[in-house]
Amino acid sequence: MRIAHFDCFSGISGDMVLGACVDAGLPLNTLRGEVKKLGLKGYTIAATREARHHVAGTRMRCRVSKNVTQPSRTLKAILRLIESSTLSRRVKTDAAAIFSRLGEAEAAVHNMPVEKIHFHEVGAVDSILDIVGAAVAMEALGIERVTSSALPLGSGTVTISHGTIPVPVPATVRLLKGVPVYESGIEQELVTPTGAAILTHYASDYSGFPAMRIEAVGYGVGSRDPEARPNLLRVVIGEAEDTAQREAMDVIETNVDDMRPEVFGALFERLFEAGALDVYVTALVMKKGRPGHLLTVLCEPWKTAELVPIIFAETSTFGVRTYRTQKYSLERETKTVTTAYGAVKVKIGSLGGKVVSVSPEYESCQKLAKRKRVPLKEIYAAAEAAARDSV
């Protein structure tokens, strides 16, 4: 699996994404040729070598001609433009999804229907080129998975068509919901809405460098050159090692010794409905020899703030503890296999392309066992054998 890891030590913007990808090996003519399929007029795409703090990279400039009138485009119009082009299906799908994320964030911030959001004149062309260009880059470089570092947020204010607003701008903050961020101490915009929309569409993990064999490194150069740090976006591209998939996971725990046991059933139901990945209880012996329970909840990091209030509401606890951990998991797929008794759904786990685990689904096996009036273990054995024969 080919991985691209974005190291956003100075933030991220659309043009920095393109610069990093070109610097890592994306041919500039490929980028130009693909975005030309959109049929846009009055723009040029140029790449130059520049340095920030003595580290060289590629700076991308998408210039829009003042002599060509650019219309104010709605999200619907931009999506139509992308769909009607001769771009590949993957590029169309990704670009449309990124633009939709951006449009929905702007609509929520301005409290208006997404259909009424306009990407104005020059800004619309810049965004189209950055977003479609990013989608082209991911396909041309053969990227199958994207990871990222946590994102540094700038501060201060920026002046746009709607007036002066705080940094990070509201649309960026909304797009970064659930993403780990930190205060940079720099008074300027480090993460732009376009950069945030591109990254959050592709990135599946923000916990650090994945296990990979590095093949290419690229630096995208930002327009500014601040003294505090090099204004660069680094992308590291490589082939994944044959290790389990890694992702960040939050653990929520609390000890309970004064609650009716049947309450746990309702609690489990609410937590799973709210997005918990796993919930379980472990027996404890607490202070003064009292029996108790350790409640443990596993969830994605951005779900913690939603799940903790449910625990307080449904249990008798006065406090919970949380910590961040790493989850390693097999690549999974669910398929239906045919046995002598009938069809059964089976989960298949792979590591580096090799099947290492086969697990028939209980409910599928149970229904078939009842219908055929045979022991459940025979259905399990038949389904596992059929699954292994099929891979």
The domain spans of the chain are 2-242, 246-328, 331-390
User: What 3-state DSSP class applies to 313?
Assistant: helix
User: What 3-state DSSP class applies to 49?
Assistant: strand
DSSP β-ladder status, 55-64 and 43-52: antiparallel
Among 73-87, 158-172, 246-260, the minimum mean pLDDT is found in: 158-172
Q: Who has greater pLDDT, 329 or 129?
A: 129
What percent of the chain has pLDDT above 70?
Answer: 97
**Backbone phi, psi, residue 42, to 5°:** 75, 35
Rounded-to-integer distance, Cα 324 and Cα 205, Å: 13
Mean pLDDT, the chain, whole residue set: 91
For residue 77, the surrounding DSSP H or E stretch is helix 75-83
The reply to whether domains 246-328 and 331-390 share a CATH topology is no
Q: Nearest-CA neighbor of 278 among 348, 316, 327, 313? A: 327
CA angle centred on 159, ends 155 and 164, rounded to 5°: 80
* Domain 246-328 CATH superfamily: Transcriptional regulatory protein pf0864 domain like (3.30.70.1380)
pLDDT score, position 244: 64
Q: Who has greater pLDDT, 83 or 327?
A: 83
pTM for this prediction: 0.68
Identify the CATH assignment for 331-390 out of 3.10.20.300, 2.60.40.790, 3.30.56.10, 3.30.9.10.
3.10.20.300
Q: Nearest-CA neighbor of 248 among 309, 205, 195? A: 205
Which position has the token pair 């799973």?
Answer: 272
